[in-house]
Amino acid sequence: MSHITKITVCGGGNGAQALVAVAACNLGCALDVYVPLGDEADRLRAGIAAHGGLEAAGAVQAKARPRRISADPAEVIPGSGVVVLVLPAFAHEATLRQIAPFLDRAAWVGAIPARGGFDYSAAMILEAQGRGDVGLFGLQTLPWACRIQEYGQQVHILGVKRAVDVASRPAGRINQLAPLLARTLGLAVDPAAGFLALTLANTGQIIHPGIMYGLFARWEGASLSSAPLFYQGLDEEGARVLASLSDEVQAIRARLERVLDLSAVRPLKDWLMHAYGDAIADPRSLRSAFATNRAYAGLKAPVREVAPGQFVPDFGARYLTEDVPFGLAVSQAIAALSGVETPVMDRVIAWTGERLGKDYLGRDAGQTRIPQNYGLDSLERLIAFANEGLEIRD
């Protein structure tokens, strides 16, 4: 991919700022930033000017200045060989619609992380704009756990994965893209066979709603004196919920693997070891692997302070509002098309819905990224769409 002379990052949050700092250091080409939300473009520019660059600190260290930062897609999208969305999944569609008219011919557009069903919505949006030439890619997860310390100045990288999976559409071009992404991110990027594998391999859909359910399914409203540790606090019962969700994903994999390569869809414990390896001190059980993962140390459950020193669970956090409609619900819908039963997914999704006032399995299914919302309403259509992604040529 020697012809790429510019990459553009879309987003101004934790992950986007980490990517800008790391990629601008690692890449030998220009890097621009598209930040349309509110006054983020101004704040990003001001922070970088005050600090002499945007800095990643902690588990990864880098400091760099992007070339241009803009809230106007016409200023930064043209000329980009690769455009990367580092956004909560609910912002993908709006951002894709904004940038689509300005994409170069045969540019790549991807999401880090992709979450579930990114390809369904992105392909529909691009096709509607006559942009079938644009390639899609997605990463299975964000490579870093990261939090902004000072906006536009410093982002703290708490933990880094050692390997991340990537998928593309057309799938045949993945070997052009993966080395560039590996260089950009500074870690191993392993090609998955296609986007359906990536959707099912999205471990955030298991870990985040599963642990929230384990921690708070029996919560009855009493305030907490502190936020529980999210990963280190995982108990045996919570670990059983995670194992059951992982087993259900594996059942979908087994059903669809007769016709598609889904080898990237690892059981949860295998994925943990693959992604974190030596950072895990005690890999003997799923619970101990979570509780002793250095990259997860100290991370707390999302809570809201309702009075000084009194907290309640924050059910509006991304762990439910993103990872269910753009994650677990997508896999559950794929299971339904495949004739696979998913009682634990159903229970966790229904519980999330009760907490959020949503019926993701019924009335509010239109607010999710399930394949049925994009015309993929039978197993034959789902598989045909996946196979088309394997076959289409430049």
Q: So which residues are the catalytic ones?
A: 208
> Does residue 367 interact with ligand NAD by CB under 6 A?
no
Name which position in 8, 14, 184, 342 contacts ligand NAD (CB under 6 A).
14
Instruction: Assess contact for 374 and 199: CB atoms under 8 A.
Output: no
Instruction: Pick the stretch among 91-99, 195-203, 210-218, 225-233 that binds ligand NAD (CB under 6 A).
Output: 91-99
**What is the C-alpha to C-alpha distance for residues 205 and 344, in angstroms, rounded to an integer?**
13
164-203 residues near ligand NAD, rule: CB under 6 A: none
Name which position in 27, 29, 30, 37 contacts ligand NAD (CB under 6 A).
37
Name which position in 8, 36, 134, 303 contacts ligand NAD (CB under 6 A).
36
> Does residue 344 interact with ligand NAD by CB under 6 A?
no
- Of 86, 82, 95, 122, which is closest to residue 37 (Cα–Cα)? 95
- Nearest distance from C-beta of residue 269 to ligand NAD, angstroms: 19
> Does residue 143 interact with ligand NAD by CB under 6 A?
no
**What is the C-alpha to C-alpha distance for residues 80 and 69, in angstroms, rounded to an integer?**
13
Instruction: Pick the stretch among 13-21, 276-284, 344-352, 361-369 that binds ligand NAD (CB under 6 A).
Output: 13-21
Q: Which is nearer to ligand NAD, 6 or 92 (CB)?
A: 92
281-320 residues near ligand NAD, rule: CB under 6 A: 318
> Does residue 32 interact with ligand NAD by CB under 6 A?
no
47-86 residues near ligand NAD, rule: CB under 6 A: 86
Name which position in 58, 66, 73, 113 contacts ligand NAD (CB under 6 A).
113
- Of 391, 7, 62, 386, which is closest to residue 177 (Cα–Cα)? 7
Size of the site for ligand NAD (CB under 6 A): 23
Phi, psi (degrees; rounded to nearest 5) at 98: -70, -40
Name which position in 56, 89, 109, 198 contacts ligand NAD (CB under 6 A).
89
Give the alpha-carbon dihedral of 190, 86, 48, 147, to 10 degrees. -90
Name which position in 49, 74, 94, 281 contacts ligand NAD (CB under 6 A).
94
> Does residue 152 interact with ligand NAD by CB under 6 A?
no
**What is the C-alpha to C-alpha distance for residues 48 and 53, in angstroms, rounded to an integer?**
5
Q: Which is nearer to ligand NAD, 73 or 194 (CB)?
A: 73
Instruction: Pick the stretch among 8-16, 42-50, 244-252, 340-348 that binds ligand NAD (CB under 6 A).
Output: 8-16
Name which position in 81, 88, 186, 233 contacts ligand NAD (CB under 6 A).
88
Q: Which residues bind ligand NAD (CB under 6 A)?
A: 11-16, 35-37, 40, 86-89, 91, 94-95, 113, 142, 145-146, 318, 322
